[in-house]
């Protein structure tokens, strides 16, 4: 009985030691594993009333991906009706501005864009199905100007792009500064001539 109990005691000790070692290994792996890189995202919406039932809306999204040292933006304009968001009527003329900048005076934007979203990236300007666009660069910010001739679905009034915020002093990605995207749109159709307030999304890496 004593011998059998001793064997049982030794076996239980070995099992406990093995389990403790396995648990310690799992805990170390969990603590040392790098968390996946995630983008920091922010959205903003502005609107102006056309009538008591209808609004013109401007949506802006900004997000920065540390794995790519790059920030992305998306803007979209639409009419908000009692039946939900929709595009603009066929006689629409509209002009949108998108401004990319940082909260630091030592940062410039190396940017590209697509207008409408899904068309090839542009550095200067383009005309895609009567959506005319151009990019204007300054020392610290970038402005994308988009002019729409004719209406269409919301997708036609969507612009996206990306930028590498870069420090003037080092030439390196400016991960310590905020990335700010602001946009507004002037819309003219059927007796309507209105400009939305500027919608600004702000984020960082």
d(CA 166, CA 172): 6
- Over 80: is that where the pLDDT of 31 sits? no
DSSP-based three-state secondary structure for 158: strand
Mean pLDDT of 169-190: 96
Q: Are residues 16 and 104 in the same domain?
A: no
CB proximity list for 181: less than 8 A, separation 6 or greater: 60, 61, 62, 73, 75, 98, 99, 100, 200, 201, 202
Q: Are residues 26 and 123 in the same domain?
A: no
pTM of the full predicted structure? 0.80
| Cβ 185 vs Cβ 94: under 8 Å | yes
Band of pLDDT at residue 183, cut at 50, 70 and 90:
very high
Q: Are residues 82 and 11 in the same domain?
A: no
- Over 60: is that where the pLDDT of 8 sits? no
Map tokens 């013109």 to a residue: 56
Q: Are residues 155 and 195 in the same domain?
A: yes
CA 72 to chain centre: 5
Q: Are residues 55 and 117 in the same domain?
A: yes
Residue 23 has a pLDDT of 39
CATH value at residue 137: 2.60.40
Q: Are residues 142 and 170 in the same domain?
A: yes
Residue 40 has a pLDDT of 82
Q: Are residues 117 and 22 in the same domain?
A: no
Q: What angle do CA 49, 55, 61 make, to 5 degrees?
A: 115
Q: Are residues 178 and 77 in the same domain?
A: yes
Residue 6 has a pLDDT of 46
- Over 50: is that where the pLDDT of 35 sits? no
d(CA 71, CA 61): 11
Q: Are residues 25 and 51 in the same domain?
A: no
Mean pLDDT of 6-23: 42
- Over 50: is that where the pLDDT of 10 sits? no
Number of domains the chain contains: 2
pLDDT tens digits for range 78-101: 999 999 999 999 999 999 999 999
**What are the start-end ranges of the H helices in 95-196?**
none
d(CA 77, CA 58): 5
Q: Are residues 111 and 147 in the same domain?
A: yes
- Over 60: is that where the pLDDT of 18 sits? no
- Over 90: is that where the pLDDT of 64 sits? yes
Q: Are residues 138 and 168 in the same domain?
A: yes
Domain membership of residue 23 as a residue range: 1-33
What percentage of the chain carries pLDDT values higher than 90? Answer: 80
Residue 153 has a pLDDT of 98
Residue 173 has a pLDDT of 94
pLDDT tens digits for range 143-168: 999 999 999 999 999 999 999 999 99
Residue 39 has a pLDDT of 57
Q: Are residues 89 and 21 in the same domain?
A: no
Closest residue by Cα to residue 76 from 142, 160, 133:
160
**What are the start-end ranges of the H helices in 33-134?**
none
* 115 φ, ψ (degrees, to nearest 5): -140, 110
The residue with greater pLDDT, 158 or 9, is 158
């Amino acid at each position: 009985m004593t011998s059998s109990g001793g064997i049982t005691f030794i076996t239980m000790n070995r099992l406990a030691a093995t389990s403790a070692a396995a648990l310690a290994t799992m805990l170390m792996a969990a603590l040392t594993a790098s968390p996946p890189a995630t983008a920091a995202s922010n959205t903003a919406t502005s609107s102006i009333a056309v009538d008591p039932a209808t609004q013109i809306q401007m949506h802006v999204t900004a997000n920065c991906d540390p794995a790519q040292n790059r920030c992305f933006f998306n803007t979209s304009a639409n009419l908000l009706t009692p039946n939900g968001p929709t595009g603009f009527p066929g006689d629409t003329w509209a002009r949108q501005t998108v401004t990319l900048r940082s909260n630091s005076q030592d940062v410039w934007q190396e940017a590209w864009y697509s207008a409408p979203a899904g068309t090839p990236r542009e550095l200067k300007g383009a005309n895609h199905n009567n959506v005319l666009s151009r990019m204007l660069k300054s020392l610290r910010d970038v402005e994308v100007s988009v002019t729409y001739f004719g209406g269409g679905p919301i997708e036609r009034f969507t612009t996206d792009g990306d930028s590498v915020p870069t420090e003037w002093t080092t030439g390196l990605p400016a991960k310590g500064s905020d990335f700010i995207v602001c946009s507004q749109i002037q819309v003219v159709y059927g007796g309507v001539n209105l400009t939305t307030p500027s919608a600004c999304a702000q984020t960082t890496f």
